[in-house]
Chains A and B, each alone.
Chain A
Amino acid sequence: MLKVLKAGFYTTIQDSGRFGLRDKGVPVSGIMDDMSVFKINSLLENKASAAVLEITMTGPTLIFEEDTYMVIGGAEMSATLNNLPIKNYKVYQIAVGDILSFGKLEKGFRSYLGVKEGFSVKEVLGSRSFYKPLTKFARLIDNDIVPFNAQQLFEPKISEIKVDCFLDVDVLEVTKGPEFDILNDRQLEEIFSKTFTVAHENNRMAYQLTETITPHAISMLTSATLPGTVQLTPAGKLIVLMKDGQTTGGYPRVIQLTDRSICILAQKKGGDRISIKLV
């Protein structure tokens, strides 16, 4: 198991998510940046659904109380293992007592820690992803214990990958949402030519964009939403629903982020700049 010495800003357990309950109001939850975790679980030869730690902005300090193999990835957070710098997307063998800590956030916003076979916290409705109040806790706190199965024998087929880094990408690719056709020429021009600032109101539920576009007065009945759905409020604000986002909404769903663009946005923090491109 892993002991949390210091929890950091917002550290949670996430896997591929909770499926089949959207009609009961349950969001999918799960990893915000699937692209990074796919690489981590591939290096560890884990199932794609193996649970990882999702580490936001300021990383935790963790002590391993069992042998294992680990890979970190996603944001670059000046990680060290026993005070020595380590790299993203490289398999490290871990012995009892090893200490993993994170420092300055260099690039991106969410870092991930995977271990061989994944973390084995209890499943709730088919997923280990934290989502309060389905799960008892919203995030890890100091002195929490995160279980995993000890591993001494593992010879990775590939021990390190050089990553084509998407953390620098600042264009979000979108397809049309169900209410795309309500947008007038001016609003279309605004959405697709402006540069937007990621607001400080951003979390696992939704990202808001600071700049507004021309307001509208369209009212609609509540209807289904998805991660990556961009809602346009009457005041002209764009709200991007993310993995813990509610399953229905009443604002026009004008555009929809691609799966890749959800990962790109998940690595942005308040103040970062993005633009939007229709594909």
Chain B
Amino acid sequence: MNSPKIDIKPFGKHSLLIEWPNEVSELILEKILQFQTFLNSEALKEMDWELVPAYNSLLILNRKKEIDFEKMSVDIHNWYANLKESVKPDRFLWRLPVTYDLEFGLDLEDVAGQLNKTKREIIDLHTGSTYTVYGIGFLPGFMYLGGINSELELPRKAIPRPKVIKGAVGVAGKQAGIYPQESPGGWNIIGNCPVPIFDASKDNPCFVSVGDKVEFFEISKAEHELHKIEVEVGIYKPEKIKLDA
């Protein structure tokens, strides 16, 4: 693929931001991740660099040194121009269980009403898409999931809830997501996922990375309870499929 053009912008003394064209696109995200993989493994290997991808941008941060913006910009343009197509990050598809039981799917009936569909149709639309993780932010482990079926698009709630429980599965606009912890939240909550997306006790606290894909499948409330117990005793492993293999 032809490399989309990049812009490099200063962002404080310790970081800079690389920006790709301002659109939500799989091709752009792939290019960002390819470049991030190259930077991580070759150009910026030392410990003090952090890279944060999201949608059409990649933050490059050095927490110890001030960056020479002009020099680094030249390097980045050179690296990017010579980026090999063979550089590929490992990417995974995660299949995550969701109960749409009304005890958890607080807005499911309301969403169905607003979209003039049945609850069954809403669940089928939600489980029928493969979502792309375009960014992780807002809360530790909160995934910005793109790829929602356009028939399931509806605005955020007019009044956010002061408290949304951990695992709440929501939709808002063109996005889907899971609240990784209890938080205030304005998304329409249609179910709950028993798999913790973020676990601070683990060395890798968040199994998902930007660029991964997510699919949801329906489970009953009883299975949800069972999975919660399996998670607590540490035997539940979310289903993981390697992509581009």
Contact check, B144 vs A222: say whether CB atoms are below 8 A apart: yes
> Within the complex, which residue of B57, B138, B180 is in contact with A224, where a contact is CB–CB below 8 Å?
B57
Contact check, B137 vs A247: say whether CB atoms are below 8 A apart: yes
Contact check, B200 vs A134: say whether CB atoms are below 8 A apart: yes
Highest count of chain B CB atoms <10 Å: which of A19, A133, A223, A256: A223
Q: Interface segment, A54-62, A65-73, A172-180, A190-198?
A: A172-180
Contact check, A221 vs B140: say whether CB atoms are below 8 A apart: no
**A 122-150 contacts with B by CB, 8 A:** 124-125, 133-135
Q: Indicate if B53 sits at the interface (CB-CB under 8 A).
A: yes
Contact check, B135 vs A24: say whether CB atoms are below 8 A apart: no
| Cα A22 to Cα B59 with chains together (Å) | 10
**A 53-93 contacts with B by CB, 8 A:** none
Contact check, A223 vs B138: say whether CB atoms are below 8 A apart: no
Q: How far is the CB of B24 from chain A (nearest CB, A)?
A: 7
**Chain B 109-143: CB-based contact to A (< 8 A → 1; otherwise 0):** 00000000000000000000000001111111110
**Chain A 148-183: CB-based contact to B (< 8 A → 1; otherwise 0):** 000000000000000000000000000111100000
Highest count of chain A CB atoms <10 Å: which of B15, B55, B134, B200: B200
Q: How far is the CB of B52 from chain A (nearest CB, A)?
A: 4
Q: Which residues of A contact B200 (CB under 8 A)?
A: 124-125, 133-135
**B 6-63 contacts with A by CB, 8 A:** 9-15, 17, 19, 22, 24, 50-57, 59, 61, 63
Q: How far is the CB of A30 from chain B (nearest CB, A)?
A: 11
Q: Indicate if B160 sits at the interface (CB-CB under 8 A).
A: no
Contact check, A222 vs B11: say whether CB atoms are below 8 A apart: no
Q: Which residues of B contact A222 (CB under 8 A)?
A: 54-55, 134-135, 137, 144
Contact check, B54 vs A223: say whether CB atoms are below 8 A apart: yes
Please tell me the number of chain B residues within 8 Å of chain A, measured between CB atoms.
41
Q: Indicate if B73 sits at the interface (CB-CB under 8 A).
A: no
**Chain B 139-170: CB-based contact to A (< 8 A → 1; otherwise 0):** 11110100000000000000000000000000
Q: Indicate if A275 sits at the interface (CB-CB under 8 A).
A: no
**B 191-237 contacts with A by CB, 8 A:** 198, 200, 205-206, 209-210
Main secondary structure, interface of A, reads: loop
Q: Indicate if A258 sits at the interface (CB-CB under 8 A).
A: yes
Q: A25-B206, A222-B54, A222-B55 are in contact. Are A246 and B61 (CB under 8 A)?
A: no
Q: Which residues of A contact B22 (CB under 8 A)?
A: 220-221
Contact check, B198 vs A221: say whether CB atoms are below 8 A apart: no
Q: How far is the CB of A279 from chain B (nearest CB, A)?
A: 10
Q: A133-B182, A221-B24, A246-B137 are in contact. Are A23 and B51 (CB under 8 A)?
A: yes
Contact check, B17 vs A24: say whether CB atoms are below 8 A apart: no
Contact check, B136 vs A24: say whether CB atoms are below 8 A apart: yes
Contact check, B11 vs A256: say whether CB atoms are below 8 A apart: yes
Contact check, B205 vs A125: say whether CB atoms are below 8 A apart: yes
Q: How far is the CB of B7 from chain A (nearest CB, A)?
A: 9
Contact check, A223 vs B57: say whether CB atoms are below 8 A apart: yes
Q: Indicate if A235 sits at the interface (CB-CB under 8 A).
A: no
Q: Which residues of B contact A229 (CB under 8 A)?
A: 11-12
Q: Which residues of A contact B134 (CB under 8 A)?
A: 222
Contact check, B54 vs A248: say whether CB atoms are below 8 A apart: yes
Q: Which residues of A contact B53 (CB under 8 A)?
A: 23
Q: Which residues of A contact B181 (CB under 8 A)?
A: 133
Q: A124-B200, A175-B12 are in contact. Are A23 and B210 (CB under 8 A)?
A: yes
Q: How far is the CB of A16 from chain B (nearest CB, A)?
A: 9
Q: Indicate if A269 sits at the interface (CB-CB under 8 A).
A: no
Q: Which residues of B contact A221 (CB under 8 A)?
A: 22, 24, 54-57
Q: A23-B209, A221-B22 are in contact. Are A248 and B138 (CB under 8 A)?
A: yes
Q: How far is the CB of A195 from chain B (nearest CB, A)?
A: 23
Q: How far is the CB of B203 from chain A (nearest CB, A)?
A: 9
Q: Indicate if A199 sits at the interface (CB-CB under 8 A).
A: no
Contact check, A258 vs B13: say whether CB atoms are below 8 A apart: yes
Q: Indicate if A253 sits at the interface (CB-CB under 8 A).
A: yes
| Cα A224 to Cα B19 with chains together (Å) | 11
**B 167-188 contacts with A by CB, 8 A:** 180-182
Q: Which residues of A contact B10 (CB under 8 A)?
A: 175-176, 178
Q: Indicate if A188 sits at the interface (CB-CB under 8 A).
A: no
Residues of A within 8 A of B (CB): 19-26, 124-125, 133-135, 175-178, 220-224, 226, 228-229, 246-249, 253, 256-259
29 pairs of residues in contact across A and B, judged by CB atoms under 8 Å:
A20-B50, A22-B50, A22-B59, A23-B53, A24-B136, A24-B198, A24-B206, A25-B139, A25-B142, A26-B205, A134-B200, A175-B12, A175-B13, A177-B11, A178-B10, A178-B11, A178-B19, A222-B134, A222-B135, A222-B144, A223-B55, A223-B57, A224-B59, A224-B137, A226-B15, A228-B12, A247-B52, A248-B54, A256-B12
Q: Which 3 pairs across A and B sit closest by C-beta, in order of nearness?
A: A248-B137, A224-B59, A256-B12
